Chain A
Amino acid sequence: MSGLQRAGRWIGEHLVLAAGLLVLVYMFVPIAVVMLMSFNDNSESRNVYAFRDFTWSNWANPCRPDGMCEAVVRSIEIGLLATLVATLLGSLAAFALVRHDFIGRSVANTVIFLPMASPEIVMGSSLLALFVAGGFGGRLGFVTIFIAHVMFCLSFVIVTVKARLSGLDQNLEQAAMDLYASEWTTFWRVTFPLVFPGVAAAALLSFSLSFDDFIITNLNAGQSVTFPMFVWGVAQRGIPMQVNVVGTVMFLISLFLVVGNMLVTRKKVAA
């Protein structure tokens, strides 16, 4: 191999990695900006798009902007409720799809795939059309948002739990049954602990999808305001810097949970 070729190969090897890392940097620049701006003191200026002075005050008084904390609380409530229902129904469905044979299984698989492949604006407007046709046009709010969120979280839960479940060694359950464990005991002592990381990942995913959704929510929310809708509302007038505090906190909590879930899973596998 000539020197030129070797040099070419070396560059090739490291260039790809360097370029990949650059793409990652591109993905992180906005998050760094969000974190930085959470310390921005812009009380003096109307120009919210510049860093003026360092301050702790946004962190000390996160609830100062009118209605923001109420919106955050509403988003958390909807997120928890939608996650609970979607994770429960979705996990049951995943068991049905992986472990049971039934008529209409392939249709079910397709219907589950479709919400992930439909534009949100179309799903949102369809749901609004249904609610209006059903006479709920004037009563949009918490309940309609909840219904919509469970709907779009379900597919993601089913796919996530299915993936975990189909990678599971059924011999373990067979062994438990051979050792005279009842079906109930086998499920709770063997199956459930093995599936749990998948269920946990699905729940995390659901909550973040629900908390973050704007397009579908905005169409079906009526007078209720979720956190993304609050941000949308203030985006036209000038964003209070506390929005960045919420963004930073969300980021840190999710990072912590995801890394935690990963470490726990890995430990279990190693043991």
Chain B
Amino acid sequence: MRRGRFTGYWLMLPAGLWLALFFVIPFYSLLATSLFDPEGSVLTGYSVDYRFANFVDALQQFWEPLVRSLWYAAVATAICLVLGYVLAYAIAFKAGRWRTLLLVLVIAPFFTSFLVRTLSWKLILADDGFVVDTLQFLQLLGDDGRLLATPVAVIAGLVYNFLPFMVLPLYASLEKIDGRLIEAAGDLYASPTRGFLKVTLPLSKPGVVAGTLLTFIPAAGDYINAALLGSPNQRMVGNVIQNLFTSTGDYAAAGALSVILMVIIVALVMLYIRTAGTEELV
């Protein structure tokens, strides 16, 4: 095909500009905001005075929700990995001609509003609801025990909301595995368990890495589950940032906390990718 030398640039330009203006440059604005003098306000204007103490203040004041976010996200990601692996494995190897239908069902929860779905968990886990009653009957929960406003409810919500992000990449990498390799393991007298551990699991590693990242990152920044299913005791860092921006109007602290969250996540992701030793993410 004949092509102009610059066609590629022209085609890329509009989307590239949009992302540069509204995705890349905003990070600089955020960084600038995090160095504001906290005495300013939206009305009087802020001055950037390279106040690095904002970071120290933010960490001192909000280390608890920050650590809690990372902890909840890690637990939710681990549970998602187990549930997601089972589901992805079943779809890839056991579903036969129902594969496509099951895949549609995996993304179907996205079809209705995230908030509406999370609110319906509030109903499912309600104090006089079916789940709490059953757990109380089985003596797994005290008579005045509850699920709402506990870490259990928040983590259950996170698991539920981000599970499809785990299942899809896992399925994509499981589906690519050559079935003959697993058969070969069996022919060489490996038990199914051993075959799974030595063949299937290592071959699905890119899916595991992509899935855990796509689950952990949004979960760590989420505040909807903590706000709707938890209490102030389950406050996550997202709740704090959004409050500082919209209610308190403390832009300097909110900016500093956002930068800290981003830096921690980028560091964890890089460490994780290096440890897992995979580069075929992008």
Contacts and interface: CB of A to CB of B under 8 A. Distances in A.
B110 A208 contact: yes
A102 B3 CA distance: 12
Contacts of B10: 96
B123 A49 contact: yes
Given A113-B282, A215-B238, A130 B113 contact: no
Contacts of B91: 20
A73 interface: no
Contacts, number: 272
Given A235-B115, A239-B119, A254-B111, A102 B12 contact: yes
B33 interface: yes
Given A122-B262, A247-B113, A93 B86 contact: no
A239 B22 CA distance: 34
B30 A183 contact: no
B194 interface: no
Which of B109, B115, B238, B251 has the most chain A CB atoms closer than 10 A to its own CB?
B115
Interface in B199-239: 213-214, 217-218, 220-224, 228, 237-238
Interface in A183-203: 183, 186
- Tell me the dominant secondary structure on chain A's binding face: helix
Contact of A228 (B29, B113, B120, B126): B113
Interface in B103-144: 104-124, 126, 128-129
Interface in B250-275: 251, 254-255, 258, 261-262, 265, 269
Interface size class of B (residues with CB under 8 A): 35 or more
Given A100-B11, A129-B30, A243 B224 contact: no
A139 interface: no
A31 B112 contact: yes
A89 to B, nearest CB: 4
A133 B47 CA distance: 10
A218 B247 CA distance: 12
B33 to A, nearest CB: 4
Contacts of A231: 113, 115-116, 119
Contacts of B221: 119-122, 215
Given A20-B95, A37-B120, A119-B217, 6 more contacts: A34-B120, A111-B20, A113-B281, A148-B22, A235-B115, A247-B117
A-B pairs, 5 with minimum CB distance? A119-B221, A20-B90, A100-B8, A126-B26, A254-B111
Interface of B: 1-3, 7-12, 14-16, 18-20, 22-27, 29-30, 32-33, 42, 83-84, 86-87, 89-91, 93-95, 100, 102, 104-124, 126, 128-129, 160, 163-164, 192, 213-214, 217-218, 220-224, 228, 237-238, 241-242, 245-246, 251, 254-255, 258, 261-262, 265, 269, 281-282
Interface of A: 9, 12-13, 16-17, 19-21, 23-24, 26-31, 33-34, 37, 49-50, 89-90, 92-93, 95-97, 99-102, 105, 108-123, 125-130, 132-133, 137-138, 147-148, 150-151, 154-155, 158, 173-174, 177, 183, 186, 208, 211-212, 214-215, 218-219, 227-228, 231-232, 235, 239, 243-244, 246-248, 250-251, 254-255, 258-259, 262
25 contacts: A16-B89, A17-B94, A23-B86, A24-B87, A33-B123, A92-B12, A92-B14, A102-B12, A108-B12, A118-B262, A119-B222, A120-B221, A120-B222, A121-B238, A125-B30, A126-B26, A129-B26, A130-B26, A150-B22, A211-B113, A215-B223, A218-B242, A250-B111, A254-B110, A259-B104
